[in-house]
Structure formats: structure tokens, C-alpha cells
């Protein structure tokens, strides 16, 4: 009994120490234990570096030991109030969200651990034009299979949305749910919608940043191209001279049996075979092809609690797809057209052997690779593996589906 009471007392002491930093005011709310009623000195020696859509403010913090942070208070041109905080360990902060070049007011305050605020230091900034305008001016739109093709340059890698709009039944512009959200530097996006008719129709495009700044609107009439899935019932494997030998446990038919998951219902080339690996197959009909969807084979290696891992070993990393209407019997690439050259990337950017849910879901849904829109009609395809995720050249493919216009 004595030991039990001793344990209870020790537990209570630990609880008291754990919350000792905080005390309760008369209203029962927790307030900082420190109670310095003297406001800190103001921020001084402010230097302004004007950047695209933002400004970096460097300064000298006051010398009080209980300083907690410096904050900037300002208002964006569309009226949204903004507040940015920076720890007393830093001597700078960034104010962002400006769409257009101009002069704007910023107020700087030093704040101590008792939340006492210094006198204001007023600063004028003159940020440059936001990157959304360069993106907008570089934007090009064109027809795509079952949709529209959008290309633009984003050298600053700004987080933006390219909103694609169509008119509803009332003639009002509405944003398409398949609009683009990205921070990539080279924007190349195809918005697909199987419900789109293949007739000339109006579209509108605008660029928006995360502060709800918008560019002007680009209007264009676009006629989406016809696209359908080329039936896998017509796919047949081929073996031209120079093609890589296959793992004897697998067959090429595993790439079109509607099973993206199970071994050996996949196709894998022999990993010991040297050099670049090539495979060839017939899709059964001549067609103007738009893209190929490839389901990589998920290896039996648990990563991130998913049980199976993509972006691993024999999954395609750097590869090409070639097409032909009449392939030479000698296995050469004469009369073959380069349909596309690709470099697979992991959405998360995680190291080799690691994946998160976005990585897993993206690969599990199939990776879609667009073909050159100027390519001629073809019937035969070759996949040329230059480097896989494991750093060699063999390939492991769970399933393929080819799309295009066979009419």
C-alpha cells in the first residue's frame, strides 16, 4: 500500500512539472507563465529584395532576450489580409501573394514571449510581376485525343492551377474537374474527358496561384480528337531478331490478360541479358494511336505498408516506344517511327525503394504515356528499355492498354 501511494505522488509531481510552463488566468484559459509587460523594441535596418510576386525583408531584431518572433502584416490587392511570422532565430521573412508589379505597404512588428507587440516599422515594397503571367503568356493549347493539350513554361516551379473552362447549359463558364494543379517547370498536360464530342467547341484557360490571383483568360475553339481503347483481344506477341529473351516463367500474353497484379501473369525479360532490352507486339489493327497505358509489375517488396512496391527493379524508368505498319523481318528499326521517349518519375520524389500512397495509387492506376500526335498510323509496337528503376535494362510489365483511332 505504501509503495502504491508513493507511485501516485510521483505521478502527480510529474504532471505538475509537465504543465508548469503554463498557468491559468481568472477565466480559466491557459496563458504564458512569463509576464513581461514591456514591449520589445522595433525591428530596424530593414532591407528589401523585390522578387517575382513577393519580397524578401531582411532586418535587425531587437536585443531583448525574451523576443519570440517577428511578424509582417499586409493586405493583398484583392483585399485579403495576410500575416507572416518568422522566428527570432532568423533575420528575414518573405511576404508573398502579389499578382502585379506595384508599390505595397508592409508593417513589421517584434513580439515577445508575453505576446507584447513592438511599435510598428513601416516598409514599402515593390514586388515584380507574379510568375503566373509568364506562365499565361507561354501557354499553348491544341486538340488532343478525347480532350485538349495544354503546354506552358514554369521556370520558377510556382504552385499554380491551370483552370480549363467550358460553358454549361446556361452559357456560363464553369471550371472542368480535370483542370491541372502543378508545380512542374515544363507543363505538358492533356485534359481528357470521354464525354467530349469530336466537334469544334469553345474552351477558356486561366492561370491561378494559391493566393487566388488570376491571369487574363485565353479563349480558343478546339476540336477534340476521337479516341477509343484498342481491344486487347487482338494483341499478339512477336519475337524479332534482337528482341530480349523472356523469363521462362512468363509469357507476353500476360500483358493483356486483365491481371495487373499476380505472378506469373506478367511479362518479364531475362535480367541477365546484356544491353538494351526490346520487346515487340502486334495490336491487331492499323490505327492512329494516341497513347499507351502501362501497369508496371508490383514487386514483392513491402514499402510504406503497401505490401507491393512500384518504381522498383525492372519497372520501366527510361524507355522508348516505336511504331510501324510493316516491320522489317531482320529486327532493325528501319520503317519504325519513334512514338515517344519517356522518363518515369515518382510523384513523391522519395528515394529508391520507398513510396507513399500517392506513388502507389498513381502506378496502380496505370501510367499513361502519350504518343507523338504527328506519328503515322501503325499496327506494331516496340518497347525499348534504356534503364529500369534498378539501374539495369530488363523490364517487368503487368499489363498494357493502347488507345487511338482505328477508323
Q: What separation in angstroms does the CA of 3 have from each of 10, 14, 16, 130?
A: 11, 17, 20, 68
Q: Is residue 214 in a domain?
A: yes
Residues 285 and 219 in one domain: no
Mean pLDDT across 389-402: 97
Q: Which residue, among 328, 323, 344, 333, has the nearest Cα to 395 in the 3D structure?
A: 344
Residues 7 and 50 in one domain: no
Give the separation between CA 383 and CA 398, rounded to whole angstroms.
Answer: 14
Residues 302 and 287 in one domain: yes
Residues 178 and 105 in one domain: no
> What was the pLDDT predicted at 349?
86
Residues 200 and 100 in one domain: no
Helix (H) or strand (E) holding 15: helix 2-18
Residues 194 and 83 in one domain: no
Q: What separation in angstroms does the CA of 52 have from each of 99, 142, 241?
A: 9, 29, 55
Domain edge (last residue) among 92, 125, 158: 125
Task: Name the phi and psi angles at 5, rounded to 5.
Answer: -65, -40
Domain edge (last residue) among 195, 225, 255: 225
CATH for 237: 2.60.120.260
Q: Residue 379 above 70 pLDDT?
A: yes
pLDDT in tens, 360-370: 999 999 999 99
Judge whether 369 and 277 are in contact, CB under 8 Å: no
Q: What separation in angstroms does the CA of 38 have from each of 33, 34, 111, 116?
A: 15, 12, 11, 7
pLDDT in tens, 288-343: 999 999 999 999 887 777 778 999 999 999 999 999 999 999 999 999 999 999 99
pLDDT in tens, 97-137: 999 999 999 999 999 999 999 999 999 999 999 999 999 99
Q: Is residue 138 in a domain?
A: no
Could you tell me which residues come within 8 angstroms of residue 187 by beta carbon, excluding any fewer than 6 positions away? 135, 150, 151, 152, 153, 154, 162, 180
- Helix, coil or strand: residue 340: strand
Q: Is residue 140 in a domain?
A: no
What domain range includes position 182?
Answer: 145-225
Structurally, the chain folds into a number of domains equal to: 4
Domain edge (last residue) among 204, 225, 246: 225
Q: Is residue 133 in a domain?
A: no
Q: Is residue 179 in a domain?
A: yes
Judge whether 378 and 321 are in contact, CB under 8 Å: no
Residues 205 and 72 in one domain: no
Residues 258 and 275 in one domain: yes
Amino acid at each position: 500500500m505504501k509503495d502504491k501511494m508513493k507511485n501516485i505522488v510521483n505521478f502527480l509531481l510529474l504532471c505538475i512539472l509537465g504543465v508548469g510552463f503554463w498557468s491559468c488566468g481568472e477565466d480559466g484559459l491557459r496563458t504564458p507563465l512569463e509576464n513581461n509587460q514591456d514591449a520589445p523594441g522595433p525591428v530596424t535596418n530593414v532591407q528589401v529584395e523585390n522578387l517575382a510576386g513577393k519580397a524578401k525583408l531582411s532586418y535587425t531584431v531587437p536585443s531583448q532576450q525574451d523576443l519570440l518572433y517577428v511578424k509582417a502584416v499586409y493586405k493583398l490587392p484583392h483585399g485579403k489580409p495576410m500575416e507572416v511570422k518568422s522566428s527570432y532565430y532568423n533575420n528575414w521573412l518573405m511576404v508573398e501573394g502579389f499578382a502585379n508589379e506595384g508599390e505595397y505597404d508592409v508593417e513589421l512588428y517584434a513580439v515577445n514571449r508575453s505576446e507584447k507587440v513592438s511599435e510598428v516599422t513601416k516598409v514599402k515594397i515593390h514586388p515584380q510581376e507574379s510568375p503566373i503571367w509568364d506562365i499565361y503568356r507561354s501557354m499553348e493549347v491544341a486538340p488532343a485525343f478525347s480532350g485538349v493539350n495544354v503546354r506552358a513554361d514554369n521556370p520558377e516551379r510556382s504552385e499554380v492551377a491551370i483552370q480549363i473552362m467550358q460553358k454549361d447549359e446556361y452559357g456560363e463558364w464553369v471550371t472542368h474537374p480535370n483542370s491541372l494543379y502543378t508545380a512542374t517547370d515544363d507543363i505538358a498536360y492533356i485534359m481528357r474527358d470521354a464525354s467530349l464530342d469530336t466537334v469544334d467547341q469553345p474552351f477558356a484557360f486561366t492561370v491561378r496561384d494559391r493566393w487566388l490571383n488570376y491571369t487574363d483568360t485565353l479563349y480558343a475553339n478546339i476540336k477534340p480528337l476521337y479516341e477509343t481503347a484498342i481491344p486487347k483481344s487482338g494483341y499478339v506477341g512477336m519475337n524479332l531478331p534482337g528482341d530480349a529473351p523472356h523469363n521462362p516463367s512468363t509469357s507476353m500474353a500476360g500483358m493483356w490478360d486483365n491481371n495487373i497484379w499476380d505472378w506469373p501473369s506478367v511479362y518479364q525479360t531475362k535480367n541477365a541479358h546484356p544491353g538494351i532490352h526490346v520487346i515487340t507486339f502486334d495490336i491487331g489493327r492499323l490505327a492512329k494511336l494516341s497513347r499507351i497505358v502501362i501497369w508496371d509489375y508490383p514487386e514483392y517488396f513491402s514499402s510504406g505498408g503497401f505490401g507491393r512496391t512500384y518504381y522498383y527493379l525492372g519497372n520501366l524508368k527510361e524507355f522508348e516506344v516505336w511504331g510501324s505498319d510493316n516491320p522489317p523481318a531482320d529486327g532493325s528499326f528501319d520503317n519504325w517511327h519513334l512514338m515517344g521517349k519517356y522518363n518515369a518519375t515518382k510523384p513523391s520524389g522519395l528515394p529508391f525503394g520507398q513510396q507513399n500512397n500517392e506513388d502507389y495509387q498513381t502506378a496502380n492506376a496505370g501510367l499513361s504515356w502519350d504518343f507523338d500526335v504527328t506519328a503515322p498510323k501503325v499496327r506494331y509496337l516496340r518497347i525499348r528499355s534504356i534503364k529500369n528503376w534498378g539501374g539495369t535494362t530488363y523490364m517487368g510489365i503487368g499489363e498494357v492498354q493502347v488507345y487511338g483511332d482505328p477508323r
